[in-house]
Structures are given as C-alpha cells and as structure tokens.
Chain A
C-alpha cells in the first residue's frame, strides 16, 4: 500500500479566511512533506517533518503553518493567504529517499 490521502480535493478561500489542509498515510513512514506546485513547474518543497518534528522549513511565509499531530497525520494551516498562493498543495511521505505523493489539494485564493 503506497497511498497518501489528502483532503479536501479542492478549496476556495478568501484572503481573510482560515482553513486547513489534511494529509494522512498509514505506511509507517516517519518522514512527511508539504510541497507547493504551480502549473508546468516542479514541486517546490515547503516543509519536512521527521519523526513528528519539523526538520526543514524552506523559508515559507508564516501564513502557512504546518502541524504533525502524530506519525500518520500532517496538517497545513492557512491564514491570510494571497492570490499568488493559489496552487496545488501536495503532501508526501517517504521510505528512505522514495517519496510517495498524495493527489493534492487544489487551492484557489480569491
């Protein structure tokens, strides 16, 4: 089983809204990731959690706030986003260096 699930599939939010993206994996992977992907571009790493601790923050603005409640779950809390933050947000988990991606959340900020 190499499934990473993400909810919601689509999200439309205003610039003053607070919303959360959720990610779940049951493969026993101890590293989880958030990526942002714009059209026709490669995934851009945002955060890495290793053993439920934040290990990498790629200088992401504070309006994005990650959270890892347990080894299977990863959240991304969103607040006061800008229209340029509209993108596909991908979650991944990894066994060594093979990362397995979820289907993504298509976020539109109005």
Chain B
C-alpha cells in the first residue's frame, strides 16, 4: 500500500516556464512533507519542506503548496532551468513520531528543455 504517491513518472517543460510536480498521500497522520531532488548516481538533495500547519512555503524559485483536505502537495519551480532536470521525490513523516522515518513517493523525472 503506497502511502505517498507521485502519479506522474515524468514531466517535460520548456526553460523559463513553470514546473509543477504533484504528490498525494493517504495517511492523515503525516504532518511534515519534504521534497528532494536527485541526480543519477548521487544522493538526494533536500530542497524544501512544509509543516501541516502551513499551506505554502517558499524558497527562491521553489514553492511547496499543501492542501490538507485533498491530501495533496505540489512543488512549483519558477522559472525552470535546464539544471533542474533530475528526479524529484516527495516524502512524508509524522513530525513528532520520533522514528525519523520518511515515506517516499516513487519519484517524478523532470526534464527542462533549453
């Protein structure tokens, strides 16, 4: 049973346009969400996170939106750059679960075309 789902395996956008990556979750106990970016043969890089008490968090070109009622979050990248081409994973956890366990989605491969 996949508790965190990224239903789009891949996404292609033009340089300078907006990239929107989506993630759905099923467990209402999740209260902290993260996005990671991964290049081939490298470890995931932490991008941005959001607590369930917020509905938006912004860091430079990256904004994460959380819709708790829909159990949906999205990552917006504006403007998209060719260097953003990578696999993006969303992850969820219980902030006070004390286990530190992250549940990852399956990933979305983003290609930004020059």
Contact = CB atoms under 8 A, between A and B. Distances in A.
Interface of A: 2, 4, 6, 31, 33, 40-43, 45, 48, 50, 55-56, 88, 90, 92, 94, 96-104, 106
7 contacts: A43-B104, A48-B100, A88-B41, A98-B46, A98-B49, A101-B46, A106-B41
B114 interface: no
Given A42-B105, A42-B107, A96 B95 contact: yes
B93 to A, nearest CB: 5
A99 to B, nearest CB: 6
Interface of B: 32, 34, 36, 41-46, 49, 87, 89, 93, 95, 98-102, 104-107
Given A48-B101, A96-B95, A97-B95, A103 B43 contact: yes
Contacts of B44: 43, 90, 101
Contacts of A97: 32, 34, 49, 93, 95, 100, 102
Contact of A98 (B34, B42, B101, B107): B34
A55 B99 contact: yes
The listed residue with most A CB atoms (<10 A of its CB), out of B44, B101, B104, is B44
B43 A56 contact: no
Given A41-B106, A97-B95, A98-B46, A104 B100 contact: no
Nearest to A89: B43
Given A42-B104, A97-B102, A104 B93 contact: no
B46 A48 contact: no
